Amino acid sequence: MPRPPRLSPDELAVALSGLPLWSGDGEGIRRSVELSGFPDAVAALVRLAFVAEQLDHHPDVDLRWRTLHLTLVTHSAGGVTELDLQLARRIDALFPG
C-alpha cells in the first residue's frame, strides 16, 4: 500500500500542538503510557496491537516494567506521516493519560 509523505517540520509542529501527550521531531513522535503493573502493561500492549493491525500501522514499543514507551514513525517513509498522527489519536482514545 502506498504510504503518505513525511510531514514538513511546520506540519509536524501544528500536529503536535493538537497532541499534547506527544513530543517528537522528524525521527518520530513519542509518548509513554504508565499502567498499574506489568500484567496491565502487557494487556495494554495487546489492545494496542489490535488497533495497530486495524490501521496496518505499528508502533515501536519499549516495555519497561509497567510503562510502555511508544515511538511512532512511518518506517517506509523515513519519518513522521499522517499515519503516525492517526495512530497517536487512536492511542490517546485508548489511554487518555
Q: Site residues (CB under 6 A) for ligand H2B?
A: 1, 56-58, 73-76
- Residue 25: name the closest of 10, 36, 38 by CA: 10
CA distances from 3 to 7, 15, 64, 75, 94 (A): 12, 18, 30, 10, 24
* CB closer to ligand H2B, 75 vs 89: 75
Alpha carbon distance 44, 42 (integer Å): 5
Strand spans (E) along 1-97: 23-25, 28-34, 60-64, 67-72
* CB closer to ligand H2B, 11 vs 66: 11
**Shortest gap between Cβ of 58 and ligand H2B (angstroms)?**
4
* CB closer to ligand H2B, 58 vs 69: 58
* CB closer to ligand H2B, 1 vs 93: 1
**Shortest gap between Cβ of 75 and ligand H2B (angstroms)?**
4
The residue of the chain with the least Cβ separation from ligand H2B equals 76
